[in-house]
Amino acid sequence: MGVCDDRKQPRLALLEALSNGRASLRYAAASGQQQRPVPLKQVELIVPLSASSSSDLAHALSATSSSSTELALAWMESQQQQSPAQSYSLASLGQLLRNDPTPQQLAALWLSLQGPQDLWRWKAGVATARSSSELRQLRRSRRSQQLEQAGRQGLLDAIAARRPITALVGSKPAQELLRGLKQLAGAEKPEEVSLAPELHQALQRAGYDGSAQVLQQVLVDLGLLQPGQPLRLLGSAWESNSEVELPTAQIDPQRRDLTHLSCFSIDSASTQEVDDAIGLERRDGDLWIWVH
């Protein structure tokens, strides 16, 4: 029989008795498992051993997982039958591989179905063969996850090495890490910002020691800030620094076009509507202050 404990670890054991919804089990001597009752819902009957010899029992309890090749052969055999069945009991699945599988071979097959494999689904004592289209979709999904993880790791490595990351921030995992950097840059108390552990480690490898000065230089090296720009610019309404096409001003002799001036305002990083700003212009050796 098979047992899956609370941690979903599959093990082999012999069912010796049932009492009050709990099963008394005997494990292989070499397993080191304590012989204590377990809830019946964690038990799955897989092979009857009532007429088996003690040596057969010992071999069955000490079985190890079948190879992935055997599962693949069973899947191919199931697809090549004239009327292919999609679902098999453990015994009928074993018969796809052998005419008369032993308890040890069936126990090994059960263990392999519990482990990581794509070809079969095992539920309630039934093995169901995945279709070819389902396998293709599963592998595409896994490949996409692998590429996403590789992209995330590449971004973390770039942060740790303080290389520009602007070309790497288009993916979803990159955006998550970028949000963490923005939260850190705009925080009143950076030490209270909860970062993803891998981002925290990457920043430590980059030399970030918790100080605003070092963080600012790291963000400049990453290409997220320009030299001299304040930390709180990152993630603020003014982060994009994009050129805005202004509407053509109506002719008014009382108005002057001062859009060529660099203007400065004193507002918080979260400001959505800027109040008055000032601009400086040098004229004939004098400085003019403009209030906009």
Q: Are residues 29 and 112 in the same domain?
A: yes
Q: pLDDT by residue (tens digit) across 85-136? A: 678 999 899 998 888 888 888 888 988 888 788 899 988 888 999 988 899 9
| Cβ-based neighbour number of residue 33 at 10 Å | 16
Residues 23 and 124 in one domain: yes
Instruction: Enumerate residues 6+ apart whose C-beta is below 8 A from 67.
Output: 112
Task: Enumerate the β-bridge partners of residue 290.
Answer: 279
- pLDDT category of residue 5 using cuts at 50, 70 and 90: very low
The tally of domains found in the chain comes to 3
The answer to the question of residue 62 being in a domain is yes
Higher local confidence (pLDDT), 269 or 264 = 264
Buried-exposed string 134-154: b where 16+ CB fall within 10 A, e elsewhere: eeeeeeeeeeeeeeeeebbee
97: in domain: yes
Helices (H), 101-195: 103-114, 132-161, 172-186
CA distances from 178 to 146, 193, 197, 224, 292 (A): 20, 14, 14, 9, 33
238 is a domain residue: no
Decide if pLDDT at 139 tops 50.
Answer: yes
Strand order in the sheet with 2-4: 38-39, 22-27, 10-19, 2-4, 43-44
Q: Are 74 and 15 within one domain?
A: yes
Check residue 208 and give its pLDDT: 92
Per-residue pLDDT tens over the stretch 30-87 = 555 566 778 888 888 887 766 556 676 777 777 788 888 889 999 998 888 756 567 8
177 CB-side CA count, 13 A: 31
Tokens (6 digits) for 93: 């699945």
Give the pair of three-digit tokens for residue 149. Answer: 């993880």
Q: Confirm whether 166 is domain-assigned.
A: yes
Query: Is 46 contained in some domain?
Result: yes
Predicted TM-score (pTM) of the model is 0.56
Higher pLDDT, 238 or 62: 62
Query: 210 and 275 share a domain?
Result: no
- Residues 75, 113 share a domain: yes
| Cβ within 8 Å of residue 280, ≥6 positions away | 261, 262, 287, 288, 289, 290
- Asked if 231 and 225 count as a contact pair (C-beta separation under 8 A), the reply is yes
Are residues 112 and 77 both part of a single domain? yes
Q: Can you tell me whether residue 90 is helix, strand or coil?
A: helix
Q: How many Cβ atoms sit within 10 Å of the Cβ of residue 96?
A: 20
Say what the pLDDT of residue 7 is: 47
- The two beta strands, 286-291 and 278-283, are antiparallel
- Within-domain flag for 287: yes
Q: Who contacts 259 (Cβ-Cβ below 8 Å, separation ≥6)?
A: 246
Asked, for residue 33, whether it belongs to a domain, the answer is: yes
The residue ranking higher by pLDDT, 271 or 241, is 271
Length of the chain as a residue count: 292
What H or E segment, with its residue span, contains residue 279? strand 278-283
How many Cβ atoms sit within 10 Å of the Cβ of residue 235? 20
- Same structural domain, 47 and 87: yes
54 within a domain of the structure (yes/no)? yes
168 and 227, same domain (yes or no): yes
**Range of the structural domain that residue 271 is part of:** 257-292
Q: Is the pLDDT of residue 280 over 80?
A: yes
* Per-residue model confidence (pLDDT) at position 8: 62
Per-residue pLDDT tens over the stretch 187-220? 888 888 888 899 999 999 999 988 888 888 998 8
pLDDT tens column, 146-186 = 888 888 888 899 999 999 887 766 667 678 888 888 888 88
> Are residue 106 and residue 169 in the same domain, yes or no?
no
